[in-house]
Structure 1
Amino acid sequence: MKPLFALNKYVHSGSLEPALIELVLMRASQLNGCAYCLDMHSKDARAAGETEQRLYVLQAWREAPFYSDRERAALAWCEAVTRLDPVHGVADDVYEQARAQFSEKELGDLNMAVILINAWNRIAIPFQNPPGAYQPAKH
């Protein structure tokens, strides 16, 4: 677990905005069906100032007008990396969209955030970690 905690520290102290990270963590957890992580990251997102509206509609972000181009690129990247296409990996258009919004370092950090949450989801789901007990740290 120590490497995952170290990666978590890196992701949260890296080049990406905290609110963007929380959206990505939420979206991957939605895709993977991880109730524990959804509960945790929805609380963290709210504590960081995220709105209820944006959290409620996150699953349908493509149709919602209140996500920025940068957030849309991050969410598309998150989905592509979480659901890697068996033939092509990440589609060229998703890569180009991400590169238009993120520097090389930022895209690397975004990728590490997606890797991190997918790893946590794959720990929480099989061991059936129950949602509800997590409380965000006071800022």
Structure 2
Amino acid sequence: MEHVNIGKIHPDSYKQLLGLSTHAEAAFAEAGLSPLLAELVKIRVSQINGCAFCLRAHSRDAVAKGESADRLAVLAAWWESQYFSPVEEAALQIAEDTTQLTAATKRRELAGSLTADQVSAIRWLAIVMNAWNRVAIQSHYPVSA
């Protein structure tokens, strides 16, 4: 099948997703969650989905916001490291649960780390990131050096 850039063919749908993304990012910030944590959530969702385009973009954004190479290196196995705070661990668990709807095998007890507002904001950000991953993957966005 021919590669089809779905955002270019249906720009109104793309713009609606961009609007939803903007609202989810605002809710994340209003819930008191850091912009760097937002990038970690986006990267983790993109790792699970295998979206090279989004991984490159959000890894660069995370580095620009001060993220360390060590934390980025262990993000795919965050639960085995001591690099992440309880809030970050809870956010990453929520991102994984939202992305892998049936994968609760690594679920950890994270109650009390986040407010309901924060949980909702993280879930919305993960939902939007999942949508962006699908747009990029289905449109075959180029990723090269």
- TM-score, scaled to structure 1: 0.83
CA distance in 1, matches of 2:83, 2:126: 22
CA distance in 1, matches of 2:130, 2:63: 21
Which stretches in structure 2 are left out of the alignment for 5+ residues? 1-13
1:104-115 correspondence runs (5 A): 104-115=116-127
Which stretches in structure 1 are left out of the alignment for 5+ residues? 134-139
| Larger Cα-atom Rg | 2
Report the 3-state secondary structure (helix = DSSP H, G, I; strand = E; otherwise coil) of the residue aligned with 1:102: coil
Q: Which amino acid aligns with 1:13?
A: A
- TM-score, scaled to structure 2: 0.80
After TM superposition, give the deviation of residue 90 of structure 1 in Å: 6.2
Q: Residue in 2 aligned with 1:3?
A: 16
Aligned length: 127
Pick closer, same or farther for the CA change 1:128–1:105 going to 2, 3 Å: same
Report the 3-state secondary structure (helix = DSSP H, G, I; strand = E; otherwise coil) of the residue aligned with 2:67: coil
CA RMSD of aligned residues (A): 1.9
8 A contact 1:36–1:131 mirrored in 2: yes
CA distance in 2, matches of 1:59, 1:103: 24
8 A contact 1:25–1:41 mirrored in 2: yes
Q: Residue in 1 aligned with 2:78?
A: 61
